[in-house]
Structure 1
Amino acid sequence: MASTNGETYMLQRNLDESQRLDAQHEYMRQMSYGHLLHPSIPLHQLHAVADVATGTGRWLQQLAHHPALPPPRSHQQPTFIGFDISDQQFPPPDASSPRLAFELHDMLEPFPTEHHEKFDLVNVRLVSYAIKGADLDRVVRNVIQLLRPGGYLQWQEADASDSWAHPETSAGSSCIDYVIAEKVDRGLLPCIAGPLVKTILSVPVTVPDGQHNIVSWSRDLMRLVHLETVSTYNHPSPAVAAGKKAAIMSAATALLKARLHRKSTELQDSLESDPGVGKLEDEVRAMETTLRAVERWDEESSWDFDLTWIVARKAIVQDTGKGWMPVRRPSP
């Protein structure tokens, strides 16, 4: 994930949060109809996989043991690698999984050159609460740099702006509004999906000398394979219907607490003569009221959100003298 200073990442790193992340992973897998990968991504072609902002590594661990994967090309080096800026939530070493490894890395920085163009798939999930809008282009470039030609990028995001409570209440609406406001205050994007797609498709490519792009992809390095939305609303899985409260409200409560803590600290550091201190006091009291209402939410209420699922593929550069990404045309 990205930098964890007080101005960006809004959650914690501890045992409770690790357990919540693992539960959230299982919930999102159910929400995605049991898929770890989008069905358009060929499992049998994945020899090397990177999971960026891996957290507890649960997604990567499960994928590395998928029966449809091809056998590893090498038993000497790990080929499934999880990257994160912190190792506090990495799983313990597992001697039974030699192809798995976890490395410290800040996705705001270029990855080590030994990882460039080495992965058939790069997975990124739920980093909109860690990446500032000003850093999105840099992060996307760094992530794409990991992909070999023809490799796939899978990116899933769910924003507060894509969430809603029903029946709609003032507490539910206020909670979402506060989380969105906190994202804006920290320089995060209120809704990342649109800018993310645009950024992925705008990264320029340098075509090798003597080759040309006969498919007319313009300057795009990545081709969008799939863009779809998966919603919890009326989802057919009983597990999704049963888990919405825990999966969504726990995260919303944690994010609301993060904003309340920051605003309360600002209030404590303010002088009575400071302009705007009265407005800050009112905001803190209103957030405390909202938090109490959300925490005692009755069982009849639920939250929903839309998950944006992006799959893109890196351009394939053919051998010297051949066209770049040639199109097969039927014989006359």
Structure 2
Amino acid sequence: MAINQAQEDIYLLSYRRNNVEEDRRLNSQHDAIKYAILNGRLIHPSIPATQITSAIADLGCGTGIWLNDIAETLFADPDTADGSYPMLVGFDINAHAFNLSPAPGVKLVKHDCTKPFDASYHGKFDLVNMRGLAYALTPEGFCLVLENVVQLLRPGGYLQWLETETRLFKAYPETVEISEALKIINTERQQRQLAPYLPHFMLRQLLPLNSGSNVFQPGGDLLTILNFNLLPGGISREGRSEEIVLNNQFSDIVLETVKLLLNPSLVHKKSQANGDSFGGEAGTGHSQLTEIQKLMDFIDEAWKSGNVKMGGVFPQLIAQKSTSL
């Protein structure tokens, strides 16, 4: 049975809102993604830098760190030949996470990205970036976000979309405990009706479906896929033994995230153990509660000891809006 929650509370880590430790984790996660998955790149090489000059948006921006990095590395000198400077705007439903002193040129706006954007933003952006939304949005929510992406982009503008998928995480060595933890997280995703298997889902959103589909399809003449890859991250990247420190940092972030993603299931099993409205036998609830707590303890120990390393592959999609729109 699906959990009856408001849209903003579907996010598996919504319990971490208003938490400075979550802000720290998001910033650390940005560095891990940048260096252990994207080889230090902020913008995909298939997107011409010469066409990203007027405005960039980041949907689900968190602390705003990706835009801060964009401002400080790609647009560090605002004195261009024509005196122009790009508009850098981050949108997120959780304004508490926003950096109170963003980089020059960065504006952070509280906004639910499934809702319509102010018309002043329509058709303004050269690039829209979004990543890590799979634990926050249902398929319907993603459809609404992609509708908004089409509106935000100028003709010829680009979408850069990176996701994480727990079913593509890999433990070295493989352990029963990590496998079980990932299984529990995916069960929780299903209960919350979050987006299904991400590589298939991302492509399906931008490729034409059969005419009988009732799912919004922003593909066809609106967005053209330029690039789609499953990017290896951390220790999953072969032939990179020189990056041991980087891969260890990446593994720490993944293990911490897996532990945090288990917590909502732990809360539900506590409710079952207390015999509340989530239902189920109290004895069963106690047993499952103990199991999840043991898994969290195992992950915590693996994280501290370094006996288990985490890697995986991460789907990334690059698309371009039609110039005729």
TM-score range, shorter chain: 0.7 to 0.9
Distance 1:20 1:73, change over 3 A: farther
Alpha-carbon distance in 2 for matches of 1:3, 1:165: 32
Match of 1:22 among 27, 37, 51: 27
Say if 2:272 and 2:286, in contact at 8 Å, map to a contact too. Answer: no
Partner of 2:97: 89
Say if 1:8 and 1:187, in contact at 8 Å, map to a contact too. Answer: no
Partner of 1:172: 178
Residue 4 of structure 1, CA deviation: 2.8
Match of 1:57 among 56, 64, 69: 64
Secondary structure, in 3 states, of the residue corresponding to 1:311?
A: strand
Q: Supply the AA of the counterpart residue of 1:155.
A: W
What per-residue deviation string (whole Å, max 9, x for no partner) do you get for residues 130-163 of structure 1?
A: 0012322122111221100000000000111111
1:247 and 2:253 are equivalent in the alignment: yes
TM-score normalised by structure 1 residue count:
0.82
Partner of 2:309: 302
> Counterparts of 1:135-150 in structure 2 under 5 Å?
135-150=141-156
Partner of 1:151: 157
Misfit runs of 4+, over 6 Å:
72-75
Partner of 1:213: none
1:111 and 2:117 are equivalent in the alignment: yes
Match of 1:234 among 232, 237, 240: 237
Unaligned runs of 5+ in 2: 1-5, 210-218
Alpha-carbon distance in 2 for matches of 1:239, 1:105: 37
Alpha-carbon distance in 1 for matches of 2:148, 2:74: 30
Residue 126 of structure 1, CA deviation: 0.4
Partner of 1:292: 297
Say if 1:83 and 1:102, in contact at 8 Å, map to a contact too. Answer: yes
Distance 1:124 1:239, change over 3 A: farther
Q: Supply the AA of the counterpart residue of 1:282.
A: S
Alpha-carbon distance in 2 for matches of 1:292, 1:102: 37
1:199 and 2:205 are equivalent in the alignment: yes
Residue 260 of structure 1, CA deviation: 0.6
Question: 137-146 or 100-109: which moved more?
Answer: 137-146
Residue 202 of structure 1, CA deviation: 4.2
Unaligned runs of 5+ in 1: 204-217, 319-332
Say if 1:30 and 1:239, in contact at 8 Å, map to a contact too. Answer: no
| Backbone CA RMSD of aligned residues | 2.5
> Counterparts of 1:217-228 in structure 2 under 5 Å?
219-228=220-229
- Write 1 or 2 for the structure with the bigger share of helix: 2
Secondary structure, in 3 states, of the residue corresponding to 2:274?
A: helix
Partner of 1:4: 8
What per-residue deviation string (whole Å, max 9, x for no partner) do you get for residues 143-191 of structure 1?
A: 2211000000000001111112121111111111111111111111242
Say if 2:274 and 2:282, in contact at 8 Å, map to a contact too. Answer: no
TM-score normalised by structure 2 residue count:
0.84
Partner of 1:48: 55
Alpha-carbon distance in 1 for matches of 2:81, 2:98: 23
Counting matched residue pairs gives 297
Secondary structure, in 3 states, of the residue corresponding to 2:44?
A: coil
Secondary structure, in 3 states, of the residue corresponding to 1:230?
A: strand
Say if 2:130 and 2:162, in contact at 8 Å, map to a contact too. Answer: yes
Distance 1:21 1:88, change over 3 A: same
What per-residue deviation string (whole Å, max 9, x for no partner) do you get for residues 234-271 of structure 1?
A: 35233432213311001001111222123213432438
Residue 78 of structure 1, CA deviation: 7.0
Larger radius of gyration between Structure 1 and Structure 2: 1
What per-residue deviation string (whole Å, max 9, x for no partner) do you get for residues 33-66 of structure 1?
A: 1101111112222120000000011110111233
